[in-house]
Amino acid sequence: MICKECNGTEFIKATDFINLRPLHKRMSVGTEKIYTICAGCGEVVSIKVRDTAKLK
């Protein structure tokens, strides 16, 4: 993987404290979002959901 902003090749995986929840299940615990971030410039190159089954 290469960062489109700075051509960096080192990346960091991170998450935040707010889970992604389906609109029709507001009380659902939801699932984490995993961010892939360029270590050089901080560009978020990918956002992935950990467990899609929790969104159904």
Radius of gyration of the chain (CA): 14
Could you tell me the pLDDT band of residue 56, with boundaries at 50, 70 and 90?
A: confident
- pLDDT confidence of residue 55: 86
pLDDT at 25: 85
| 7 Rama class: left (phi>0) / alpha (psi -120 to 50) / beta | left
Q: Indicate the SS3 state at residue 45.
A: strand
Mind listing the pLDDT tens digit for each residue in 1-55? Answer: 899 999 999 999 999 989 999 988 878 889 999 999 999 999 999 999 999 998 8
pTM exceeds 0.75, yes or no: yes
Model pLDDT, residue 43: 98
Q: What is the dihedral of CA 11, 13, 3, 9, to 10 degrees?
A: 20
